Amino acid sequence: EVEKGVLFPLLGGDLAISLARVRTTCRLGGERVSADLLRSLIDAQLTGKGLQDIISYDLSSVGHLQRFLYIIDNSGEWAGWEPIIRVAKHQGRRGVKLPI
């Protein structure tokens, strides 16, 4: 929590960019920015935007998780897509591709 509240903001930019900077700085930075940390941040972003039951992800690479966090965090307002995705899901259209 101290890292997220104190260290990452000192690096500037948004959370995804700060994490990328920490990860590439040194070996310890690479260890601190783990896949588990990124998944918890992604889950928090999805919950905060009301998308936790709408969007699921299955990414194994830390780099892909960082990119996904960046997309969720910086791609604008997701609220307008929620009803469209829910209708598509209700109609059995699995694997709906979002315009990302």
Q: Is residue 44 part of a domain?
A: yes
Give the CA distances from residue 21 to residues 38, 97, 99, in Å, rounded to whole numbers and listed in that order.
14, 30, 27
Number of domains in the chain: 1
pLDDT digits (tens, 9 = 90+) for 18-32: 677 666 666 766 677
pLDDT on residue 45: 86
Q: How many residues in the chain? A: 100
Output the six-digit token pair for 65.
Answer: 């998780």
Residue 55 CB neighbour total at 10 angstroms? 17
Q: Give the range of the structural domain holding residue 22, as residue numbers without chain letter.
A: 2-90
pLDDT on residue 43: 92
pLDDT digits (tens, 9 = 90+) for 30-88: 677 788 888 988 998 888 887 787 778 888 888 889 889 888 888 777 777 778 777 87
Q: How far apart are CA 22 and CA 29, in angstroms?
A: 5
Q: How far apart are CA 81 and CA 91, in angstroms?
A: 16
Q: Is residue 100 part of a domain?
A: no
pTM of the model: 0.63
